[in-house]
Copies of this chain bind each other. A is one copy, B any other.
Amino acid sequence: MKRVMLSVAYDGTAYSGYQVQENARTIEGELNRCLGDLLKEDIKVIGGSRTDAGVHALCNVAVFDTQARMPGERMSYALNQRLPEDIRIRESREVGAGFHPRRCLSRKTYTYKILNTAFPVPTRRLYSYFTYVPLDVGKMQEAAVHLVGEHDFKSFCSAGSQAESTVRKIECLEVTCEGEEITIQVAGNGFLYNMVRIIAGTLMEAGRGIWEPAYMKEILEARDRRAAGPTAPACGLCLTGYEFL
């Protein structure tokens, strides 16, 4: 028996999220199906980040145990032959039997893309959130500063979260602008349910001038989801980094 870790990239457009669900197409569901086909075993992967429906990833993680003789390093090639073209394995390798992606200390980076143009660009519609309302990137940057560090992010957590504590540490939160595309990049060791999308929605409110950047402190203090901005749409979000520490 060996444990194998996969690094998984996907376009989340056509999926009901990462985590396996009955009667819905999910990334884990596709991995289980293709691994079962390949290894002739009943495989149930243990997932890393449970991205929502429509969210993308460059490097999510899945782990599984198998008795197959095939070396773990070779499985990526064999799996990519079977997977649909919107899911690709970047790497497969054998890991220790005790390795569990959600129990190991990790650092995840999410990137949220906003297209701030006068009209939507069709070739970008699936991978960025479009808004024609002009956003002040300077104000978004000022607002972001208040969220960096360890805070109680209860205001930035959707109902339905199973987290015991809502305290999290954001190591890095940057807002950059290149041409007409605004990128929010956030890194930390753990995020609450919808936290990154609520941060993106809240920073956009600051960018629109609805809230002053310093108001972020009051939102944190409120510890109430209703105090923060809307949950930004899923398509703008991508899991772009996943390291184990």
4 smallest CB-CB distances across A and B, nearest first, come from A11-B122, A86-B122, A11-B123, A56-B123
Which stretch, A87-95, A96-104, A137-145, A212-220, touches the partner chain B?
A87-95
Q: How distant is the Cα of A88 from the Cα of B89 in the complex, in angstroms?
A: 34
Copies in the complex: 2
Residue of B nearest to A58 (CB): B121
Q: On chain A, which size bracket covers the interface?
A: 20 to 34
For window 101-131 of chain A, which residues contact chain B by CB distance below 8 Å? 118-123, 125-127
B58 touches A119 (CB 8 A): no
Q: How distant is the Cα of A127 from the Cα of B121 in the complex, in angstroms?
A: 13
> Is residue A20 within 8 Å, beta carbon to beta carbon, of the partner chain?
no
Residue of B nearest to A76 (CB): B119
- Min CB–CB distance A242 → chain B (angstroms): 15
Among A90, A119, A238: residue with most chain B CB under 10 A: A119
Task: Name the contact of A90 in the complex, choosing from B80, B87, B119 (C-beta under 8 A).
Answer: B119
Q: How distant is the Cα of A43 from the Cα of B102 in the complex, in angstroms?
A: 58
- Min CB–CB distance A44 → chain B (angstroms): 22
Q: How distant is the Cα of A56 from the Cα of B122 in the complex, in angstroms?
A: 9
Q: How distant is the Cα of A120 from the Cα of B88 in the complex, in angstroms?
A: 7
Write out the residue numbers on chain B whose beta carbons fall within 8 Å of the beta carbon of A89. Answer: 119
- Min CB–CB distance A61 → chain B (angstroms): 15
| A70-89 contact mask (Cβ, 8 Å, vs B): 1 or 0 | 00000010001000011111
Write out the residue numbers on chain B whose beta carbons fall within 8 Å of the beta carbon of A76. Answer: 119
Residue of B nearest to A56 (CB): B123
> Is residue A153 within 8 Å, beta carbon to beta carbon, of the partner chain?
no
Please give 10 more A-B residue pairs, beta carbons under 8 A apart, in addition to A9-B123, A86-B125. A9-B121, A10-B122, A56-B123, A76-B119, A85-B120, A85-B122, A88-B119, A88-B122, A89-B119, A123-B126
